[in-house]
Amino acid sequence: MKWDSSFAIGIEAIDNQHQQIFEHLLAIENSVAKRDPWHIQRFFVTQMSDYMKFHLAVEEALMEIIRYPEYAGHCASHAKLMDQIAELEKQLETAGSGRNPAGRQIPAESLVGFFEEWFVRHVLSRDREFAVYAKEEFPALLGRR
């Protein structure tokens, strides 16, 4: 999956961060395609997780500043995502460390698909709704007068 201008929500700082998320997605996809060992894939997932924490904190701070009415629900979806990423990291570690008695591993397609689906679903709906509110209610904040 590659960044496409159709993913832009019109808030430059957020769009730039979303592009960085795509760079992390690309690193995960490449790692999966090369069939890297579990610890390398986990490294890329951890990098994504760390960047997502930063990005979501920025997004949430902006929502709080402008008193976005859907703030609580949006933040709840962020928290759920971070819980899911933490679970993926644990599964990768367990699968690769020999502590998985069944020998099951996370299918590579699931790892990539999880991030791609979340990103498209979340950005194209929830982040777009937030951006519309921000642009309508606070055009000066976004540099549009």
Query: Could you tell me the residue range of the domain that residue 15 belongs to?
Result: 10-137
Residue 3 covered by a domain: no
Domain CATH number, residue 57 = 1.20.120.50
- In percent, the amount of the chain with pLDDT more than 90 equals 34
CB contact set of 85 (below 8 Å; sequence gap of 6+): 45, 48, 49, 52
pLDDT tens digits for 40-97? 888 988 898 899 999 999 999 999 999 999 999 999 999 988 888 888 778 777 766 5
Based on the structure, what is the number of domains in the chain? 1
Closest to 42 in 3D by CA, of 102, 109, 99, 91: 91
